C-alpha cells in the first residue's frame, strides 16, 4: 500500500519551515561556509569577466558558475566540462535546425519536444547525463529565443556557449585554487545506458516524454495568454528539466515530482522577492551592487547545500536572483527589466511544471483505476 499523498500546501509548509531553520543556522566558517564562499567567488569572477568581454547575457555566466561549483575540485571540473561540452553541442545543433525550419512554429515545437525528451532521458540513463541535459536545454533556449527573433539564432547560440564557458571555467578555477584537499572521491553511480528503453527503462522514457510535452507547450501557452518575454522563460528550462531518475512506482514518482515542483516554485518566488527588494535600493555604483549580489548568492548557496531536502529552493532562488540583479553591463538601472525577467522565468516554470505534474497524475490515477477494476 502506497504512502498517503502529501498536498502542495503541506509541501510548501515544510519548505518554508526548512528555509527558516537553514537561515537561522547560518555559519560563515566551516566546510559549508567555505563552499558558499567559493560559490560567491566563482559567480563574482564570472560576472567580472563576462562584463569585461561584454557578453550578451552576463547573468547566464553567473548562473553557470553557481551550478558548476561543487564540493570538491574533481567534481567541479567534471561538471564544468560536461556543461561546456553539452552547451556547445546543443548550440551547434540549434543553429543547424533553425537553418532548416525558418519560422515554422509547429516544427520548432516538435523539435522542442524531441530535444527536451532526449535530454531528460539522457540525464537518467547516460553516464554523461549532465551533458545531454545541457545540450537539450541549449537547443530549447536558442529555439525559444529564435521564435521571438528569428534573426538572432547564431548570435544567441554563440553567446550562450561563451557565457557558459566563462561561468564553468570560473567555477573550475576557484575550485582548483581554493577547495581544501579531500579524500578519495566516490565514483558516481553507473547509469543503465540507452538499451531497453521500451522495457526496463520504460518509466524513464515516460518521464522524459512528459517533460518534453511540457517544454513544447511553452510557446503556445505564452502566445495564448499574451505574456511578455518568451525568450526569458527559457532561463528556467534547464532547472525544470533536471529531474531525478524515476523509480517505476508511479505514486512515489508523482510525490517526488510534486515536491520538487513545489520547491522550484517556492524558490523562484523567494529569489524574485529578494531580487525586487535588492533592486529597490537603486544602485548607482559598481561595488555596492556587486556586494549585494554576493550576499544573495551566498544565502542561496547556503540553502542549496541543505541536508533537509530543500536544496532546489536554493538553486532556483539563485537562478532568479542572479537573473534579476544582472541586467546588462553594469548595475541595474530600475525595476522594470527585473520584473519582466521574473515574469518570464516564473511563467515558463509554471507551464512546464503544470503539464508534467498533470500528466503524471493522470497516468497514476488511470493505472490505479485499471488495477481496481
Mean pLDDT score across all residues of the chain: 81
Q: What is the mean pLDDT of residues 7-14?
A: 76
- pLDDT at res. 2: 40
Secondary structure of 116-182 as H, E, C letters: HHHHHHHHHHCCCHHHHHHHHHHHHHHHHHHHHCHHHHHHHHHHHHHHHHHHHHHHHHHHHHHCCCC
Least confident of 109-113, 258-262, 361-365: 361-365
Grid cell, residue 257, equals 515530482
Distant-in-sequence, close-in-space partners of 278: CB < 8 Å, separation ≥ 6: 292, 293, 296, 321, 324, 325
- Is pLDDT at 317 greater than 50 in this prediction? yes
Question: What is the value of pTM for the model shown?
Answer: 0.85
Q: Which residue has the higher pLDDT, 155 or 230?
A: 155
Question: Rounded to whole angstroms, how far apart are CA atoms 327 and 279?
Answer: 11
- Is pLDDT at 253 greater than 70 in this prediction? no
Most confident of 31-45, 94-108, 172-186: 31-45
- Is pLDDT at 371 greater than 60 in this prediction? no
- Is pLDDT at 237 greater than 70 in this prediction? no
Q: SS3 of 273, please?
A: helix
Indicate the Cα dihedral angle 284, 285, 291, 292, nearest 10°: 10
Confirm if 47 and 326 have CB atoms less than 8 A apart.
yes
- pLDDT at res. 176: 95
Q: What is the mean pLDDT of residues 114-120?
A: 90
Amino acid at each position: 500500500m502506497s504512502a498517503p499523498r502529501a498536498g502542495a500546501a503541506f509541501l510548501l509548509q515544510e519548505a518554508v519551515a526548512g528555509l527558516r531553520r537553514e537561515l537561522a543556522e547560518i555559519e560563515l566558517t566551516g566546510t559549508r561556509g567555505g563552499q558558499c564562499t567559493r560559490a560567491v567567488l566563482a559567480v563574482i569572477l564570472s560576472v567580472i569577466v563576462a562584463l569585461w568581454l561584454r557578453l550578451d547575457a552576463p547573468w547566464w555566466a553567473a548562473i553557470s558558475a553557481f551550478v558548476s561549483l561543487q564540493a570538491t575540485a574533481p567534481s567541479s571540473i567534471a561538471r564544468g566540462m560536461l556543461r561546456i561540452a553539452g552547451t556547445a553541442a546543443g548550440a551547434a545543433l540549434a543553429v543547424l535546425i533553425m537553418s532548416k525550419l525558418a519560422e515554422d512554429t509547429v516544427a520548432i515545437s516538435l523539435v522542442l519536444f524531441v530535444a527536451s525528451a532526449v535530454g531528460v532521458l539522457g540525464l537518467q540513463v547516460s553516464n554523461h547525463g549532465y551533458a545531454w541535459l545541457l545540450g537539450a536545454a541549449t537547443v530549447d533556449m536558442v529555439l525559444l529565443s529564435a521564435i521571438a527573433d528569428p534573426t538572432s539564432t547564431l548570435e544567441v547560440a554563440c553567446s550562450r556557449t561563451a557565457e557558459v564557458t566563462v561561468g564553468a571555467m570560473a567555477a573550475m578555477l576557484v575550485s582548483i585554487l581554493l577547495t581544501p584537499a579531500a579524500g578519495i572521491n566516490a565514483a558516481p553511480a553507473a547509469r543503465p545506458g540507452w538499451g531497453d528503453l521500451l522495457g526496463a527503462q520504460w518509466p524513464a522514457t515516460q518521464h522524459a516524454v512528459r517533460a518534453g510535452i511540457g517544454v513544447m507547450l511553452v510557446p503556445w501557452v505564452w502566445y495564448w495568454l499574451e505574456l511578455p518575454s518568451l525568450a526569458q522563460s527559457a532561463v528556467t528550462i534547464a532547472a525544470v528539466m533536471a529531474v531525478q531518475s524515476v523509480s517505476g512506482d508511479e505514486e512515489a514518482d508523482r510525490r517526488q515530482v510534486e515536491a520538487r515542483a513545489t520547491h522550484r516554485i517556492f524558490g523562484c518566488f523567494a529569489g524574485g522577492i529578494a531580487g525586487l527588494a535588492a533592486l529597490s535600493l537603486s544602485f548607482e555604483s559598481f561595488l555596492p551592487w556587486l556586494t549585494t549580489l554576493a550576499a544573495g548568492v551566498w544565502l542561496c548557496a547556503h540553502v542549496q547545500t541543505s541536508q533537509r531536502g530543500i536544496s532546489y529552493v536554493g538553486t532556483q532562488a539563485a537562478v532568479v536572483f542572479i537573473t534579476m540583479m544582472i541586467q546588462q553591463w553594469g548595475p541595474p538601472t530600475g525595476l522594470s527589466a527585473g520584473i519582466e525577467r521574473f515574469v518570464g522565468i516564473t511563467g515558463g516554470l509554471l507551464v512546464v511544471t503544470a503539464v508534467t505534474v498533470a500528466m503524471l497524475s493522470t497516468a497514476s490515477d488511470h493505472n490505479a483505476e485499471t488495477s481496481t477494476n
